Amino acid sequence: MKRPVYIREASAIGPQPVFDTDRLEQVAAYTTHPLNAVVPELRRYVDPVRGRRMEKVARIGLGTALNALDRAGGAAPEAIIVGTGLGCMESTERFFVPLLHNNVAGQIALATRCTGYNYTYLHRGISFTSALLDGWMQVGLEGRATVLVGGAESITPDYYLVQRRSGIWKQHDVPNLEVLRATDGGALCGEGAAFFVLGDTPGPGTAVRVVDVDISYRGGAETLRDRVQAFLQRNGLSTDRIDLLMTGRNGDGPQDGAYAPMEADLPQATHAAYKHLCGEFFTANAFGLWLLWSGLRTGHLPAEAVLRSGSAAPRWGLLVDHFQRTDHSLVLLERIGP
């Protein structure tokens, strides 16, 4: 039978100072892009000698994974599930080392001595949410007690340029805190990692649970609106129950338009966004989920994340994200208790 799935703890590294905390206090402003992840001191988690040989994506992935487990009271994961759009592309570019896409999950398994289920999803904008869906099934439907899920991505010089040529980044610099007002195409490129300890019991502090996850492919703005309606309906919620909406608006004007019809259905909710803070990348929605979790758990969101204020003391939180209007993710969270 279906059991509740709690986010026992979480950890993130990115362009914002969010490591080893559950709230974002001082928002970092950038005038140029890409937005690079600020890597904190990770000596506690990553051996400095080995760390030097690791790619950034592996270092920040391992660092946030182990920090999240630490914060959850030294939890031992039964399964490790990672989403990453590119895996260890830098090794591919530099050394032509084959097939290390699942290196981050493997490194976490080595560090935690976890011999259980170990999966890596590499599917563009739903890489992380595929991992989340899998982990949610493992705890909620398959009886595992503790599952680690996360997303990690780092900008590699080559791939940044290749993607720039395909037009997905803005060709000029825009201050990140102003980018959501842009009407032209392209987003700001970013990077980061976020990991979540999912469990069948709540962790210390205010409990937040993952109620449901939905992933879909294609469809325009109206399809996204319908998908959100159906998603809430299957969870017994009317649209006016959503207190906190976190969208993947990224400053790409034409693409951000896809959120408008869905947002109009939730006029009472606080509308927030996160991709201007962390930049756009394949697993940016892992940071989006971190910020939504943080907002529900602490009742605090930085002013820079809030597009429109709605209900205080939010209980129901909804993440709505699309990547290039093809990869759509919906995640419903609920704060439990006071």
Partner 1 sequence: MSDRVVITGLGVISALGTNVEGNLDALLHERSGIGPITVLPTRHRGSIPVAEVHLDDDALAALAAPRAVRSWTRTALLGLRAVKEALAHAGIDPAAQRTAFISATTAGGIDKTEPIYDQYFLPEIPDEAAQYLGTHDPGDHAQRIAAELGFRDLVTTISTACSSSANALMLGDRLLRHGLTDVAVVGGTDALCKFTVNGFNSLLILDREPCRPFDRDRAGLNLGEAAAYLVLETEARARARGADVLAVVSGYANTNEAFHATASSPDGTGAYEAMRQALAMARLAPEAISYVNVHGTGTPNNDASEGIALNRLFHGAVPPFSSTKSFTGHTLGAAGAVEAVYAVLAIRHGVHFANLRWRTPLNEAPLVPVTRTRRDVAVRHVLSSSFGFGGNNTSLVLSAPEARP
Q: Confirm if 156 and 86 have CB atoms less than 8 A apart.
A: yes
310 lies in the site for partner 1, by CB under 8 A: no
122 lies in the site for partner 1, by CB under 8 A: yes
Q: Confirm if 66 and 49 have CB atoms less than 8 A apart.
A: no
The residue written with tokens 């129901």 in the block is 316
Q: Shortest gap between Cβ of 106 and partner 1 (angstroms)?
A: 5
The residue written with tokens 């300890």 in the block is 197
> How many residues form the binding site for partner 1 (CB under 8 A)?
53
Q: Confirm if 285 and 128 have CB atoms less than 8 A apart.
A: yes
Out of 29, 141, 260, 264, the only residue in the binding site for partner 1 (CB under 8 A) is 141
Out of 32, 73, 76, 162, the only residue in the binding site for partner 1 (CB under 8 A) is 162
Q: Shortest gap between Cβ of 114 and partner 1 (angstroms)?
A: 6
Residues 191-210 that bind partner 1 (CB under 8 A): none
Burial class (CB in 10 A: 0-12, 13-18, 19+), 222: exposed
29: which DSSP letter? P
Q: Shortest gap between Cβ of 48 and partner 1 (angstroms)?
A: 18
110 lies in the site for partner 1, by CB under 8 A: yes
Only one of the segments 63-71, 118-126, 240-248, 251-259 lies at the binding site for partner 1 (rule: CB under 8 A); that segment is 118-126
Burial class (CB in 10 A: 0-12, 13-18, 19+), 257: middle
- Cα 320 to chain centroid distance, Å, stands at 11
Residues contacting 235, CB < 8 A, separation 6+: 211, 212, 332
165 lies in the site for partner 1, by CB under 8 A: yes
* 78 vs 304 by CB, closer to partner 1: 78
116 lies in the site for partner 1, by CB under 8 A: yes
Q: Shortest gap between Cβ of 27 and partner 1 (angstroms)?
A: 30
Q: Which two tokens stand for residue 336?
A: 């439990």
* 88 vs 262 by CB, closer to partner 1: 88
* 67 vs 120 by CB, closer to partner 1: 120
- Cα 244 to chain centroid distance, Å, stands at 16
Q: Shortest gap between Cβ of 98 and partner 1 (angstroms)?
A: 3
Residues contacting 2, CB < 8 A, separation 6+: 140, 141
Dihedral sign for Cα 58, 133, 38, 206, please: negative
> Residue 147 — φ and ψ, nearest 5°?
-130, 135
Residues 42-101 that bind partner 1 (CB under 8 A): 80, 85-87, 92, 96-101
* 87 vs 203 by CB, closer to partner 1: 87
Q: Which is nearest to 24 in space by CA: 35, 34, 10, 36?
A: 10
Write each residue from 218 to 257 as x if it is in contact with partner 1 (CB under 8 A), else as -, in one continuous string: xx--------------------------------------
Residues of this chain that interact with partner 1 (CB under 8 A) are 80, 85-87, 92, 96-103, 105-107, 109-110, 112-124, 126-127, 130, 133-134, 137, 141-142, 158-159, 161-163, 165-166, 215-219, 282, 326
